[in-house]
Structure 1
Amino acid sequence: MQTYVNVKYLFALLLPFFTVLLSNAQYTHQDTLRGSNGSGRSWWDVQQYHINVAVDIDDKTIKGTNRINFNITNGGKNKVMQIDMQMPMRIDRIEFVQMKYGTLPFRREGNVCWVDFGEREFKTGDTAQAIIVHFSGKPRAAVRAPWDGGWVWAKDAKGRPWVTVACQGLGASVWYPCKDIQSDEPDKGATLGITVPDSLVAVGNGRLIKKTPHADSTLTWLWEVKNPINNYNIIPYIGKYVNWEEKFAGAKGELDCSYWVLDYNLEKARTHFERDTKPMLACFEDWFGPYPFYEDSYKMVEAPHLGMEHQSAVAYGNQYKDGYLGMDLSGTGWGLKWDYIIVHESGHEWFANNITTKDIADMWVHEGFTTYSEVLYVECRFGKEAADEYCQGLRTGIENNGPIIGPYGVNKEGSGDMYPKGANMIHTIRQIINDDAKFKAILRGLNQTYYHKITTSAEVEKYIISQSGKKLEKVFDQYLRTAKVPLLEYKLTPKPGVAGAYTLRFRWSNVIEGFAMPMRIFIDKKPMWITPKTTYQTISIKAKSSKSLEIDPNFYIISQQQ
């Protein structure tokens, strides 16, 4: 069992960039350009990215093109397009396909490129527009991937190149030009062509379409995703990979599964992945609905960093250990019976990749539900009691250092508590619903209603409230928009002269106005529901002693006996 200090340290490893109090943050014009759907973004809708990149491993440089297919959502003349490309990467030229590949003028403003279409008139509803952006340079190298991201120029245990990118939060524009905002995914997917020395293997998202050899002893690996995909999920992996494939009998038929690992880890990986991968897929299809990307397959790729939810190419770097690098985030022991990265990062295929939030301020929808997927996996494998213990154990990682929801429009997440506190809020709501069949229907319904869609926290909250039939508005506000943990104050007092008769006095404190979350307690091990408010209430109960009352530990609250 991990100590409190160790668990806090583990969450510090997992979430180092979430610890600053948001109320003291200062935001720049560049933050607004990056985080908002401004005038250079709102008039066009990305349909596809066709990215080709040649990687010079020795020089740590890249060059390539991105053909951006787009539709017009708001027509007119004198349109200026915002393309994001982070320094020090360069945009060399931009061609407009509908202008016989003529070049377009552009200017740089920090990490933004403004593309001027001049007098050309676009009509609302125009489709099949395209530009080709040529880019080159030495992209930012990751300082501590995946948290402080960029390109990872690593070597494997045999000293051979092992290269990838991790850019969630930092943004895909750290290496390729794009519309770098979470609210606009390429609706028709993307292709990624990766040109590397022919002695290496290059893996991308989705399915391998073809390999093209070149006279200079390089090889281009072309991968394709047919479904919408987050920008930060489009990732190359380069190394001495080998792979194997298998089928999973899933909810929508046979799901193709493939695994790409370093050649010397093949046998180890086969054994290690076998235990958790298919049980995980079965568990999540039961709780969340069908895997969202059957057309693109399920894939796991060994990476030189801990891991990331790259769609249909999940990054795996947990060193073939159980838990989180051999440690248990819950401190209960249950987290050491399965591989954290396989389960957590694959859970994101439903929450983050299928259901994606418009603004990263609402990223709790990605991380809270995916952390709860760990709880559900423990439940599938080891039972409900084990899952309850695991979820409660995650609370030692909660800092309560700021709201889970961040500020909108400036490319900023909320507190890292979105992981353990988000999961415990969901677990608390599950208790309030008090009907696991309905709770499962809500999780499945979310993935169906927002299938391959962009949404918001407000929409997710509204859906859960509607489907549950519970008044959860204040519950969401309390746990998502404040850092305060509800305090249940209570006192159990015997009635004079009446054996077994007691008065229970209770209320909520440290809560927002109007907070009245129902609460399950136990009197002599028998469940009983109360609905505290911010003013004291008093009820009469029968009990064996003044110690008969227990608080249900599945609710994330603090209790204090008066």
Structure 2
Amino acid sequence: MDHRPPAPRRPAPAPAPLLLPLALALALLGAGCTGGVEGSPGAAGVRDPYFRGLGNGGYDVTHYGLKLDVDPAADRLRGTATITARATQDLSAFHLDLAGLDVESVTVEGRPAAVNRAGEELTLRPAARVEDRLRKGRTFTTVVRYSGSPLTITGADGSQEGWLRTADGAVALGEPTGSMAWFPGNHHPSDKAAYDIEVTVPEPLTAVSNGELVSRRTAKGRTAHHWRTAEPMASYLATVAVGRFTTQESVTPDGIRLFTAVDPKSAAASKDVLDEIPAVLKWSAEKFGPYPFTSAGAIVERTGDSDYALETQNRPVFPGPPDTGLLVHELAHQWFGNSVTPATWQDMWLNEGFATYAEWLWAADHDDVPVEESFDEAYEDEDNWEFPPAEPPAAVNISDAPVYGRGAMVVHRIRLEMDDDEAFFDLVKGWTKAHRHANASTDDFIAYVEEETGQDLTDLWDAWLYGESRPPVEEG
């Protein structure tokens, strides 16, 4: 996320319960899809500390196949989501998260499933004849067809996520809950999956998403753009941007495929910074370890299309031309947040603290601003001491200043405690390697650091990560 200023966000209140169309409900009942599967229902939520109802239990998604037909002029999206998942228990029913859009049909293993909807929760009860596919350890496929006008979710502070309308199209931003506004799924960062996203839009618009462009087909004035993300991705990092873009493709000397899409009104002011992407990636790899993906790039909208940048996987979204510091921050997230993804939203400081520290490192190496100077500036900033970075007081605070600035201070205090820069950067590279394409918590990080350093750092954690007040710098 953009850290200048970080924009706290919370999801809008859940919409009133929606009913399935009568014809669909009758069809499902007629198909005998209301019960019979042995086992128990998966949980409606994974008990995240801040978003208790977010995500779903009982299964693990391995792949999303999304086919979207987007008509910006009509403000209409029609989608088919093919969700491949592995049952982690014997399931009699399970849940999907979806906000706003109308469900037209649902099948599990090719047979109609009974569907109940309450706000953002879809409860699916498969037909009895597919019960063997929902045994623990088995893989099953769910297909949801849906349509409507996607929601823009507005938080209490006025910041927006979900489906954002732009001057010539739309952009989907998902942190922390916005992805449920454009596709059904298990929308918690702990459930990562591979993605194929095919978006059909009217000419002359372009649809850009994560990963690599597999194909582009045009017929009858509409173009289907097929994007593939082979590496695991949390749903909040998925994006679709539709509009008139200037695009550019290239390959870095290290073999990373670059794809940038820039709104023509932002192109001239963005060029010099975007040209730095290969250099920033190379520098970041030296600091943090090998780049964790096969593709990279950026999506640059026109100023005002959104209020913040977001580290969407492979190519961050920028709300207008970025500066180099912001580019460094969002690309650092490809290691911290996108590859090593937080276990819960309480672990956000692991994303933002490291990405902010990357800015400090870049400034030291390229702008003659010592890291100590950046640390001192953050230390003197009163906003960074509103709460401990590992314990935001509420969901609305997970993107507030302490998560960024004080998070970065925690990283630097570890470096000072080690008093060995080579060992410190080996520690960082080891962290990104140990949890590559996985999830990690604050407890995981503490255990890792103490095991690798052989030090008991209780005083450091108590003072800098969990402490309520500003510790004297002399305490080390």
The answer to whether the superposition gives a TM-score over 0.5 is yes
- What pairs with 1:103-252 in structure 2 (closer than 5 Å)? 103-117=112-126, 119=128, 120-121=131-132, 122-127=134-139, 129-141=140-152, 143=154, 147-155=159-167, 161-186=168-193, 189-215=194-220, 217-250=221-254
User: Could you tell me which amino acid in structure 2 is paired with residue 298 of structure 1?
Assistant: A
What is the rounded CA distance, in whole Å, between the counterparts of 2:394 and 2:135 in structure 1?
Answer: 28
Does residue 61 of structure 1 match 2:65?
no
- Mapped contact 1:404–1:482 kept (Cα < 8 A): no
- Mapped contact 1:168–1:232 kept (Cα < 8 A): yes
Does residue 81 of structure 1 match 2:94?
yes
Q: Which residue of 2 aligns with 1:290?
A: 290
What is the rounded CA distance, in whole Å, between the counterparts of 2:428 and 2:460 in structure 1?
Answer: 18
Identity over aligned pairs, percent: 21
- Would the alpha carbon gap of residues 228 and 440 (structure 1) be closer, same or farther in structure 2, given more than 3 Å must change? same
What is the rounded CA distance, in whole Å, between the counterparts of 1:262 and 1:393 in structure 2?
Answer: 35
1:171 offset after TM fit, Å? Answer: 3.3
Q: Larger Cα Rg: Structure 1 or Structure 2?
A: 1
1:32 offset after TM fit, Å? Answer: 4.9
Q: Which residue of 1 aligns with 2:440?
A: 455
User: Could you tell me which amino acid in structure 1 is paired with residue 180 of structure 2?
Assistant: S
What is the rounded CA distance, in whole Å, between the counterparts of 1:256 and 1:146 in structure 2?
Answer: 36
What is the rounded CA distance, in whole Å, between the counterparts of 1:391 and 1:15 in structure 2?
Answer: 22
- Would the alpha carbon gap of residues 241 and 11 (structure 1) be closer, same or farther in structure 2, given more than 3 Å must change? closer
- Mapped contact 2:210–2:227 kept (Cα < 8 A): yes
What is the rounded CA distance, in whole Å, between the counterparts of 1:140 and 1:266 in structure 2?
Answer: 28
1:378 offset after TM fit, Å? Answer: 1.5
Q: Which residue of 2 aligns with 1:405?
A: 390
Does residue 367 of structure 1 match 2:376?
no
User: Could you tell me which amino acid in structure 1 is paired with residue 122 of structure 2?
Assistant: C
- Mapped contact 2:256–2:296 kept (Cα < 8 A): yes
Where 2:96 maps in the other structure, the secondary structure is strand
Structure 2: state its 5+ residue gaps. Answer: 11-43
1:281 offset after TM fit, Å? Answer: 1.1
Where 1:363 maps in the other structure, the secondary structure is helix
- What pairs with 1:14-93 in structure 2 (closer than 5 Å)? 14-17=6-9, 32=47, 35=51, 41-75=56-90, 79-86=92-99, 88-93=100-105
- Mapped contact 1:368–1:421 kept (Cα < 8 A): yes
1:116 offset after TM fit, Å? Answer: 0.9
Please report the TM-score for the alignment, with normalisation by the length of structure 1.
Answer: 0.71
Where 1:430 maps in the other structure, the secondary structure is helix
What is the rounded CA distance, in whole Å, between the counterparts of 1:172 and 1:355 in structure 2?
Answer: 19
Return the structure number with greater relative CO, CA threshold 8 A, min gap 6.
2
Does residue 269 of structure 1 match 2:270?
yes
User: Could you tell me which amino acid in structure 1 is paired with residue 161 of structure 2?
Assistant: G
Q: Which residue of 2 aligns with 1:330?
A: none
Does residue 281 of structure 1 match 2:281?
yes
- Would the alpha carbon gap of residues 47 and 91 (structure 1) be closer, same or farther in structure 2, given more than 3 Å must change? same
Does residue 417 of structure 1 match 2:402?
yes
Q: Which residue of 2 aligns with 1:511?
A: none
Q: Could you give the per-residue CA deviations for residues 60-91 of structure 1, whole angstroms, max 9, x where no partner exists? A: 2212011000112223x5x21110011x2222
What is the rounded CA distance, in whole Å, between the counterparts of 1:298 and 1:397 in structure 2?
Answer: 36
**Structure 1 vs Structure 2 CA RMSD:** 2.8
Please report the TM-score for the alignment, with normalisation by the length of structure 2.
Answer: 0.83
Structure 1: state its 5+ residue gaps. Answer: 1-9, 19-28, 156-160, 323-338, 489-518, 520-531, 533-554, 556-562
User: Could you tell me which amino acid in structure 2 is paired with residue 115 of structure 1?
Assistant: L
- Would the alpha carbon gap of residues 262 and 269 (structure 1) be closer, same or farther in structure 2, given more than 3 Å must change? same
- Would the alpha carbon gap of residues 236 and 382 (structure 1) be closer, same or farther in structure 2, given more than 3 Å must change? same
- Would the alpha carbon gap of residues 382 and 411 (structure 1) be closer, same or farther in structure 2, given more than 3 Å must change? closer
1:266 offset after TM fit, Å? Answer: 4.0
1:174 offset after TM fit, Å? Answer: 1.9
User: Could you tell me which amino acid in structure 2 is paired with residue 166 of structure 1?
Assistant: L
User: Could you tell me which amino acid in structure 2 is paired with residue 388 of structure 1?
Assistant: E
Does residue 432 of structure 1 match 2:420?
no
User: Could you tell me which amino acid in structure 1 is paired with residue 257 of structure 2?
Assistant: D
1:267 offset after TM fit, Å? Answer: 4.7
Where 1:286 maps in the other structure, the secondary structure is helix
- Mapped contact 2:103–2:147 kept (Cα < 8 A): yes
What is the rounded CA distance, in whole Å, between the counterparts of 1:413 and 1:16 in structure 2?
Answer: 7
What is the rounded CA distance, in whole Å, between the counterparts of 1:220 and 1:402 in structure 2?
Answer: 47
Which of 287, 309, 312 does residue 310 from structure 1 map onto? 312
Q: Which residue of 2 aligns with 1:25?
A: none
- Would the alpha carbon gap of residues 417 and 464 (structure 1) be closer, same or farther in structure 2, given more than 3 Å must change? same
- Mapped contact 1:53–1:62 kept (Cα < 8 A): yes
1:17 offset after TM fit, Å? Answer: 4.2
Q: Which residue of 2 aligns with 1:326?
A: none
What is the rounded CA distance, in whole Å, between the counterparts of 1:418 and 1:341 in structure 2?
Answer: 16
Flag as ranges the 4+ runs of structure 1 deviating above 6 A. 407-412
- What pairs with 1:472-511 in structure 2 (closer than 5 Å)? 472-487=457-472
- Mapped contact 2:353–2:407 kept (Cα < 8 A): yes
- Would the alpha carbon gap of residues 464 and 393 (structure 1) be closer, same or farther in structure 2, given more than 3 Å must change? same
Count, aligned residues:
432
- Would the alpha carbon gap of residues 243 and 415 (structure 1) be closer, same or farther in structure 2, given more than 3 Å must change? closer
1:414 offset after TM fit, Å? Answer: 7.4
Which of 316, 324, 337 does residue 352 from structure 1 map onto? 337
Where 2:375 maps in the other structure, the secondary structure is helix
Where 1:419 maps in the other structure, the secondary structure is helix
- Mapped contact 1:406–1:412 kept (Cα < 8 A): no
Q: Which residue of 1 aligns with 2:22?
A: none
Q: Could you give the per-residue CA deviations for residues 380-427 of structure 1, whole angstroms, max 9, x where no partner exists? A: 3245x5232123223326342223224799898375411000001111
Where 1:431 maps in the other structure, the secondary structure is helix
Where 2:231 maps in the other structure, the secondary structure is coil
- Mapped contact 2:45–2:52 kept (Cα < 8 A): no
What is the rounded CA distance, in whole Å, between the counterparts of 1:265 and 1:244 in structure 2?
Answer: 14
